Structure 1
């Protein structure tokens, strides 16, 4: 029996020592981090999907003295491509401080009014202007030729043509007109000089 009690005492002491060791291990604070393996270096670069930036530019309609640009306007059918124009109204604005605003009204008979001053151009010149209109296919030009605005030194032009009871207006600025249209505008601007 003494042997059993001795074994029991030894067992109790062993258990007490194990519990004490666990308590001390838990309360020691463990300031040093556990050792870990270093991460493996990649052998190949990771595949990256390409991205695309999308920039949307919007136009502030208040920048345009003639209203908002609407390029979805349907093309006006030329009422009679062989007929002479009835009238052409031309307006130029902008160009910065001190630039002259030009307002011109030209009739098919060659009479015109430019900024309040009347005059007459030759019948040959009227035919030249009408030929320019036809070569431009003026009534079939889609939309206006306007940029984003913001340049106070840029000129803006409005041309309205009446032919056989149908009217077509095109707005444009210096930076958006094709060369043939620039030549047409230059021809109109030279009337009355």
Structure 2
């Protein structure tokens, strides 16, 4: 088994749609626990792009993000018995990645002697993973539109988009937002995103 084999964190096509992704992840995890070592490589390839989106939402740099994703997979291997239902493996992975990214970001912030512990201050100015990625045209349009959103919307969408059942309380704590505002804010952000995507499609059609 290779934890990060063939898993390119950025510059790859987006993973399958959510329902298919959760189902396939459960199948791979179940097969791995049944003794199929190759199934873990399949699970890594399927879920690593998702974990990267989640981790990068916490403002860690690429090198630290690699460590966080690696740690998440190692925690899965060591703590597999904690997952009694294989269908929960996707939620377990994304939740673990969020927690590890939050801790790593806090540690990085302290190491840089930054006094402001607010996660908003931890986001880098550098171009995001999506800006650097060369993925399918549809994914490029989507993430280009995400990058045009305000900072709070970008972060919230990246954290929530890949979770089957988001833990709003934990997300609110991580992002410094009231838990009651997560749902309405998510709805507003998605509405803005749809408008941006619609404007982009309209502009492309007018240019042809």
State the TM-score, normalized to the length of structure 2. Answer: 0.22
State the TM-score, normalized to the length of structure 1. Answer: 0.23
Higher Cα radius of gyration: 1
Structure with greater helix percent? 2
